[in-house]
A and B are shown apart, each in its own frame.
Chain A
Amino acid sequence: MSIPLNITINNQSYSLEIEEDTTLLSLLRDTLHFTGPKEGCGNGECGACSVIVDGIPVRSCIILAAELEGKSITTIEGLTQTDEKGNVELSEIQKSFIDEGAVQCGFCTPGFVIATEALFNRNPNPGKEDIEEALSGHLCRCTGYKSIFSAVDKAAERKNK
């Protein structure tokens, strides 16, 4: 049976009819085509599906969309700015990931970027331990993490300039 859901995604309001067992990740990807969040493990272990709900980063693969009536979601798509000509400007975090070579296959990247965005929102000047803690639940099979930590450092520097 479908039920109504009012939800805000990347500052846009949606009034939807959803199946009761739809996960937030499935709603985002399959229904609304926000394909930034990825399904890696589907068990909340890898971090690729992370999104921000009312300021708090969570795993969208293990949340039912039905739980989120009235909530506001930010996906990686919501971090960019688009001007009136349709030009997309990436966020400082995204730029730093590119500059530091922290993106290889790219599958895990939206999760790392969302975790970094949420970290900066709660702690504008994070130390090494804070960064490690914030990213500890995210898996990357390509980079070996070093370039990802460099990217977060660089983004923090740019942000605090």
Chain B
Amino acid sequence: MKYLIPHSLKEASELLIDNENSFILAGGTDLLIEKRSGKITPDAVIDLKRINHEELYLSEIVVKNGKLEIGALVTVTQLLEYGNLPSELASLIDAGKKFGCYEIRNRATLAGNLAHASPGSEYGSTLISLDAEVEIFNSKGVKNISVESIYAGAGRNALKRGDIITKIIIPVIENSGSAYFRASRVDGMDLAIINCALRGIYDRNTSKTSYRVSFGAVAPVPIRFPQIEEMLSNIENNRPESVKEVLAEAKQFFLKTLNPRATSLRAAPLTKKILAGNLLEDAYKKFKERLKK
């Protein structure tokens, strides 16, 4: 295996094309495990960490034009320690605190979490619920695509050879709030049995709230449930029982419609169906609590 050090994004993209069986190396916390297990046998890894100064934004977090931009080399620890995170994006912190363990968070990147395309990844559902985009660099230039469209299947991303994720771009929206919850067998280093991310935007003119809700590890890719989003938007602000009714309806919906695979190592399908409703309730309540502040 060759270890390649590009000095620009252009060079990195060319190296990806020239070396058919090559992989981008950022934190390596998935890549090197898959290499060791024999799941992949790279001829080359292309380390992005020594790219030239003009592309330093790869390692930066900035708020620009009402959007939070997270560079492709930003680690989970870097995000957790970032002092200026807009409170609307609190779900990014919820997810980071559950992510791996301290040493893993010191290496793992958010962009790598998306590129690995695991069905239950912490940041897949979180970033989808936040309506985030990723910036992709290739020889033709730069384009933005939705986080949802990165996922092609379980453990498969939709990137083309030569494509490199350069940043994640998240809109910061006034009067909005977010939350992320997961269920796992142990609280420490573990993967999610299932996870749920929710974002709500309160419209002052109509007094209505609109939602994006995404779940991980209930399907081959993290998915949204428009029916659930619609149900939540029908919660009546002035009638407390309305919350209970809608959450009960949502729980029934998951029992009837979720179809998680029976071969999951972590939980039986029925467990996941029940957990989905419970996590939605947790996420909704946390969102309401945060929106008030």
A residues at B contact (CB < 8 Å)? 1, 3, 20-21, 23, 42-45, 47, 50, 56-59, 61-64, 66-67, 69, 115, 133-134, 136-138
B276 at interface (Cβ–Cβ under 8 A)? no
Are B103 and A58 touching (Cβ within 8 A)? yes
A63-B101 contact, Cβ under 8 Å, with A45-B189, A137-B188: no
Are A64 and B45 touching (Cβ within 8 A)? yes
> B49 is contacted by which of A44, A61, A67, A137 (Cβ under 8 Å)?
A67
Are A43 and B36 touching (Cβ within 8 A)? yes
Are A44 and B3 touching (Cβ within 8 A)? no
Nearest B residue to A46, CB-CB: B189
> B3 is contacted by which of A21, A42, A61, A62 (Cβ under 8 Å)?
A21
CA distance A63 to B37 in the complex (A): 15
Nearest B residue to A1, CB-CB: B2
CA distance A42 to B102 in the complex (A): 17
Q: Which 4 A-B pairs have the closest CB atoms?
A: A137-B101, A136-B188, A20-B3, A66-B3
B29 at interface (Cβ–Cβ under 8 A)? yes
CB proximity to A under 8 Å, residues B62-78 = 77
Name the A residues within 8 Å of B77 (CB-CB): 56
- Work out how many contacts link A and B, with CB atoms closer than 8 A: 75
Name the B residues within 8 Å of A115 (CB-CB): 102-103
> A21 is contacted by which of B1, B47, B101 (Cβ under 8 Å)?
B1
Name the A residues within 8 Å of B107 (CB-CB): 58-59, 62-63
Q: How large is the interface on B (under 10, 10 to 19, 20 to 34, 35 or more residues)?
A: 20 to 34
**Residue in A20, A21, A62, A64 whose Cβ sees the most chain B Cβ within 10 Å:** A62
CB proximity to A under 8 Å, residues B228-275 = none
CA distance A1 to B1 in the complex (A): 8
A63-B189 contact, Cβ under 8 Å, with A44-B104, A58-B107: no
Are A44 and B106 touching (Cβ within 8 A)? no
CB proximity to A under 8 Å, residues B152-195 = 187-189
A47-B25 contact, Cβ under 8 Å, with A63-B32, A137-B188: no
CA distance A21 to B4 in the complex (A): 11
CB distance from A28 to the nearest CB of B (A): 15
CA distance A66 to B1 in the complex (A): 12
Name the B residues within 8 Å of A50 (CB-CB): 103
Nearest A residue to B32, CB-CB: A62
Are A56 and B106 touching (Cβ within 8 A)? yes
CB proximity to A under 8 Å, residues B46-95 = 47, 49-50, 77
A20-B29 contact, Cβ under 8 Å, with A64-B45, A134-B102: no
CB distance from B291 to the nearest CB of A (A): 26
**Residue in A44, A58, A115, A138 whose Cβ sees the most chain B Cβ within 10 Å:** A44
In the complex, given contacts A58-B107, A62-B28, what are 20 additional A-B residue pairs having Cβ atoms less than 8 angstroms apart? A20-B2, A21-B3, A44-B33, A44-B100, A47-B103, A50-B103, A56-B106, A57-B102, A57-B103, A58-B106, A62-B33, A63-B107, A64-B25, A66-B47, A67-B25, A69-B50, A136-B102, A137-B100, A137-B188, A138-B101
Name the A residues within 8 Å of B47 (CB-CB): 64, 66-67
> B29 is contacted by which of A3, A62, A64, A133 (Cβ under 8 Å)?
A62
